[in-house]
Amino acid sequence: MATNLLEVKHLSQKFGDNLVLSDLNETIQAGEVVVIIGASGGGKSTFLRSLNLLNHPTSGQVLFEGQDLTTLNEKQLDHIRQKIGMVFQSYNVFPHLTVKENLKLAPKKVKKMSDEDADKLADNLLDQVGLADKAQDYPTSLSGGQQQRVAIARALAMQPEVMLFDEPTSALDPEMVGEVLKVMQKLAQEGMTMVVVTHEMTFAQEVAQQVWFMDGGKILEKGTPKQIFQHPQKERTKDFLARVRQSR
Amino acid sequence: MKKKRIYFSWLVLLWGLIFSVLSQPVNAASVDHSLEKVQKRGKLIIGTSPDYPPYEFLVNQNGKEKVVGLDIDISRKIAHDLGVKLEIKKMDFDSILVGIETGKIDMGISALSPTAKRKESVDFSQIYYKSGQYLIINKNDKNIYRDKDSFQGKTLGAQSGSIQSELLKKQMPKSSGRYLTKVSDLILALKSHKVEGVVAESAVAIAYVKNDPSLAYINGNFNLGSDHLGSAIAFAKNSPSLVQAVNKSLTTIKNEHLVSQYLADAGKYMQTTKSNHTMLHYWRYFANGVGYTLLISAVSAVFGIILGLLLAIMRLSRNRIFHDLAVAYIEFVRGSPLMVQVMFVYFGLGMIVNLPALLSGIIAVSLNSAAYVAEIIRGGINSIPQGQTEAARSLGLSERQTLQSVILPQALKNIWPALGNEFISLIKESSIVSIIGVTDLIYQLRTVQAATYKGVAPILVAMVLYFVMTFSLSRILGYFEKRMKHGN
Ligand SMILES: Nc1ncnc2c1ncn2[C@@H]1O[C@H](COP(=O)(O)OP(=O)(O)OP(=O)(O)O)[C@@H](O)[C@H]1O
Ligand SMILES: [Mg+2]
Yes or no, beta carbons of A140 and B487 under 8 Å apart? yes
**pLDDT > 70? residue B229:** no
**pLDDT > 50? residue A84:** yes
Question: What's the CA gap between A123 and A132, in Å, rounded?
Answer: 7
DSSP helix/strand/coil, B466: helix
Ligand 1 in reach of A199 Cβ (< 6 A): no
Q: According to the model, what pLDDT value does residue B4 have?
A: 63
Lowest mean pLDDT segment, chosen from A94-98, A219-223, B181-185, B258-262: B181-185
Ligand 1 centroid–CA A40 distance in Å is: 8
Lowest mean pLDDT segment, chosen from A181-190, B103-112, B168-177, B454-463: B454-463
Question: What band does A101 get if pLDDT is binned at 50, 70 and 90?
Answer: very high
Question: What's the CA gap between B196 and B150, in Å, rounded?
Answer: 11
Ligand 1 in reach of A148 Cβ (< 6 A): no
B318, B386, B394, B403, best to mutate vs chain A, most A CBs in 10 Å: B394
Yes or no, beta carbons of B394 and A93 under 8 Å apart? no
ipTM of the complex in this document = 0.95
Evaluate whether B106 touches B242 at the Cβ level (below 8 Å): yes
Ligand 2 centroid–CA A138 distance in Å is: 27
Q: Which ligand is nearest to the CA of A199?
A: 1
Ligand 1 in reach of A50 Cβ (< 6 A): no
**pLDDT > 90? residue B213:** no
Q: Which residue of B has its CA nearest to A55?
A: B390
Ligand 1 in reach of A145 Cβ (< 6 A): no
Contacts B391 to A, Cβ<8 Å: 86, 88, 92-94, 151, 154
The set of long-range contacts for A206-212, using a CB threshold of 8 Å and a minimum separation of 24, is A207/A33, A207/A35, A208/A33, A208/A34, A208/A35, A209/A32, A209/A33, A209/A34, A210/A32, A210/A33, A210/A34, A210/A35, A211/A34, A211/A35, A211/A36, A211/A37, A212/A26, A212/A34, A212/A35, A212/A36, A212/A37, A212/A38
Number of residues that this document lists for chain A? 248
pLDDT in tens, A18-74: 999 999 999 999 999 999 999 999 999 999 999 999 999 999 999 999 999 999 999
Q: Which of B396, B487, B488 sits opposite A106 (nearest CB)?
A: B396
Q: According to the model, what pLDDT value does residue B26 have?
A: 52
- What separation in angstroms does the CA of B209 have from each of A173, B134, B187, B212, B216? 84, 11, 10, 5, 6
The string of DSSP letters for B79-116 reads: HHHHT-EEEEEE--HHHHHHHHHTTS-SEEEEEE---H
Ligand 2 centroid–CA B115 distance in Å is: 78
pLDDT in tens, A118-176: 999 999 999 999 999 999 999 999 999 999 999 999 999 999 999 999 999 998 898 89
Show the beta-strand stretches assigned E in chain A. 4-15, 18-29, 33-37, 59-64, 67-68, 84-87, 162-166, 193-197, 210-215, 218-223
Question: What's the CA gap between A186 and B209, in Å, rounded?
Answer: 95
* pLDDT > 90 fraction of chain B, expressed in percent and rounded: 40
| Ligand 1 atom nearest A46 alpha carbon | 18
**pLDDT > 70? residue B32:** yes
Yes or no, beta carbons of A155 and B387 under 8 Å apart? no
Give the list of residues 6+ apart from residue A221 with CB closer than 8 angstroms, or none: A212, A213, A228, A232, A233, A234, A237
In terms of average pLDDT, the best of B231-245, B268-282, B343-357 is: B231-245
Q: According to the model, what pLDDT value does residue B252 have?
A: 93
Yes or no, beta carbons of A105 and B405 under 8 Å apart? yes
**pLDDT > 70? residue B2:** no
Question: In testing the pocket of ligand 1, which one of A11, A14, A18 has its CB within 8 Å of the most ligand atoms?
Answer: A18
Question: What band does B226 get if pLDDT is binned at 50, 70 and 90?
Answer: low
Q: Does B210 touch chain A (CB under 8 A)?
A: no
- Going by C-alpha positions, the residue among B98, B100, B97 that lies closest to residue B113 is B97
* pLDDT > 70 fraction of chain B, expressed in percent and rounded: 91
Mean pLDDT of chain B: 85
Question: What's the CA gap between B44 and B356, in Å, rounded?
Answer: 16
DSSP helix/strand/coil, B129: strand
Ligand 1 in reach of A56 Cβ (< 6 A): no
Residue nearest to atom 25 of ligand 1 (CA): A40
**pLDDT > 70? residue B484:** yes
Ligand 1 in reach of A13 Cβ (< 6 A): no
Question: In testing the pocket of ligand 1, which one of A46, A88, A213 has its CB within 8 Å of the most ligand atoms?
Answer: A46
Q: A91 to chain B nearest CA, in Å?
A: 8
Ligand 1 in reach of A46 Cβ (< 6 A): yes
Strands A210-215 and A218-223: antiparallel
Lowest mean pLDDT segment, chosen from A98-107, B227-236, B241-250, B318-327: B227-236
Yes or no, beta carbons of A78 and B396 under 8 Å apart? yes
| Ligand 1 atom nearest A13 alpha carbon | 12
**pLDDT > 70? residue B1:** no
Q: Does A158 touch chain B (CB under 8 A)?
A: yes
Ligand 1 centroid–CA A45 distance in Å is: 7
DSSP helix/strand/coil, B398: coil
Q: Does B486 touch chain A (CB under 8 A)?
A: yes
Supply angle C-alpha A218, A221, A225, rounded to 5.
130
**pLDDT > 80? residue B270:** no
- What separation in angstroms does the CA of B379 have from each of A26, B316, B395, B401, B480? 41, 10, 25, 19, 20
- What separation in angstroms does the CA of B190 have from each of B137, B185, B241? 7, 9, 43
Q: According to the model, what pLDDT value does residue A70 have?
A: 94
**pLDDT > 90? residue B52:** no
The set of long-range contacts for A12-18, using a CB threshold of 8 Å and a minimum separation of 24, is A12/A57, A12/A58, A12/A59, A12/A60, A13/A43, A13/A46, A13/A50, A13/A55, A13/A57, A13/A58, A13/A217, A14/A58
Strand partners, B136: B198, B217
